[in-house]
Amino acid sequence: MAPMLSMTENNKTCAEIHLGNLLENLRAIQQHVAPAKVIPVVKADAYGHGAVPVAKTVAQNGFDLLAVAQFKEAMELRDSGVAHPILIFGRLLPHEIPVAVSAGFRISLFCTEDIDWIEKASLTQPAVVHVNLETGMGRVGVVIENDPGFFPRLLASDTCVWEGLYSHFSTADEMDKTYADLQLSRFKRFLTDIKTWPKKPALIHMANSGGILDIPESHFDAVRSGIIIYGHYPSVETSRPMPLKQVMTFKTYVSHVRLLPQGYPISYGRRWVTSEATRIAVIPVGYADGIPRAMTNKGEVLIKGARYPMVGTVTMDQTMIHIGDAPMERGDEVLLWGESASGSLELLELAEKINTIPYELTCGVSARVQRVYIGQS
């Protein structure tokens, strides 16, 4: 029988965040893109890893410009003592602009109205801006043909300090780089056009993880590195020019082992039925913790170094694992993904099984799951 201590000390669901792995990944990326700078992307709570500890770790290790998606995310970092410049990818609301400027945030511009808002705000210092140029992503960014007054207005503005120019790939993580190359060529054409302009941005950046891995010409002055700093390749189609270590280890434990007869249905909808009398382990995590319901009859876990399948519908709080005759008891550690002493489960492989991407899985680990930080922060 497992000792009582393990009931309280070891039997828990948690996401271990290995900050040493994060730094190793960042250094490998830095080496790969040098002399370009790396801008670590820590939006969405650092892709579920915890924005404050991740941002503090990167800030203390020489990465001096961070990126988030929202004003609120940038404020959270400032309020937690992260003093570095922070680029905000999303569009600010007019009332957020004065606070953003005095906090030293880098504001993304998408259209002339953004410049209007900045010029009308009562600012005590100039706004440092990065222009997002639409080259084919089809999300946000200046469309020059539709907004011909944008750049003349920016060049004439004393309130906007033009620090950065960027664009974003939509297909850099695909094997076929035809469209990514088209976006890159549009961006480069614009860089040629602005050569003679009286003001030019000091920081040109385009590459996301896919671009970092596979499109060296897109590295320019800086790269915006998201998913690879957390140890995951963005897709199975990119090359793997540097080794990455998974930063998050998501684990839980066996809460119950049961013997069920032949022909017994498991979980909601009876989507899996025992083909013989067999043992089923229950783990105390479900879709409310970040195990997608799509893993029903598709997911796998690692227990004592061996893989076992998830069977039956993943429920909100509990998931069933078919363990057959394997020696197993309540309290045994269950690896959901990441690295552990007994082996590893690659998140990208799990994501592929359910037709999603590693981003969605790490972002989906809910607040109910305790983050345990290991290493520097």
Ligand X SMILES: Cc1ncc(COP(=O)(O)O)c(C=O)c1O
What does residue 179 show for φ and ψ, rounded to 5 degrees? -70, -40
CA distance 99 to 88: 13
Q: What residues between 301 and 360 interact with ligand X by CB under 6 A?
A: none
Residue (224 or 251) nearer to ligand X, CB: 224
115 three-class SS: helix
Which of 19, 36, 38, 41 lies at the binding interface for ligand X (CB under 6 A)?
41
CA distance 367 to 208: 27
Q: Which of 251, 247, 282 is nearest to 369 (CA)?
A: 251
Least Cβ distance, residue 243 to ligand X (angstroms)? 17
For tokens 């990167």, what's the residue? 58
**314: CB partners within 8 A, 6+ apart:** 267, 286, 287, 291, 292, 293, 295, 296, 299
Q: What residues between 117 and 176 interact with ligand X by CB under 6 A?
A: 168
Least Cβ distance, residue 241 to ligand X (angstroms)? 14
Residue (221 or 300) nearer to ligand X, CB: 221
Rg (the chain; Cα; Å): 24
Least Cβ distance, residue 13 to ligand X (angstroms)? 26
Residue (56 or 168) nearer to ligand X, CB: 168
44 three-class SS: helix
Least Cβ distance, residue 88 to ligand X (angstroms)? 10
- Beta-strand (E) ranges in 74-197? 86-88, 105-109, 127-132, 160-166
- Beta-strand (E) ranges in the chain? 14-18, 37-40, 66-68, 86-88, 105-109, 127-132, 160-166, 203-205, 222-225, 248-253, 256-260, 265-266, 272-273, 278-283, 300-303, 306-311, 319-322, 333-340, 343-345, 370-374
Least Cβ distance, residue 105 to ligand X (angstroms)? 15
Least Cβ distance, residue 132 to ligand X (angstroms)? 7
Q: For residues 162-174, b (16+ Cβ closer than 10 Å) or e, as one string?
A: bbbbbbbbbbbbb
CA distance 87 to 129: 9
Q: What residues between 219 and 248 interact with ligand X by CB under 6 A?
A: 224-227, 234
* Per-residue binder mask for ligand X (CB under 6 A), 196-215, x = binder: ------------xx------
Residue (41 or 82) nearer to ligand X, CB: 41
User: In the chain, what is the straight-line distance between the N-terminal and C-terminal CA atoms, in Å?
Assistant: 37
Phi-psi region of 117 (alpha: psi -120 to 50; beta: other; left: phi over 0): alpha
Residue (225 or 313) nearer to ligand X, CB: 225
Catalytically active residues are 43, 268
Least Cβ distance, residue 107 to ligand X (angstroms)? 14
Q: What residues between 253 and 312 interact with ligand X by CB under 6 A?
A: none
How many residues touch ligand X under the rule CB under 6 A: the total is 10
Residue (57 or 209) nearer to ligand X, CB: 209
Q: Which of 345, 274, 266, 359 is nearest to 313 (CA)?
A: 266
The stretch near ligand X (CB under 6 A) out of 218-226, 268-276, 306-314, 346-354 is 218-226
Q: What residues between 59 and 118 interact with ligand X by CB under 6 A?
A: 89
- Chain residue at closest Cβ approach to ligand X: 226
Residue (215 or 254) nearer to ligand X, CB: 215
Answer yes or no whether residue 13 interacts with ligand X by CB under 6 A: no
* Chain contacts with ligand X (rule: CB under 6 A): 41, 89, 168, 208-209, 224-227, 234
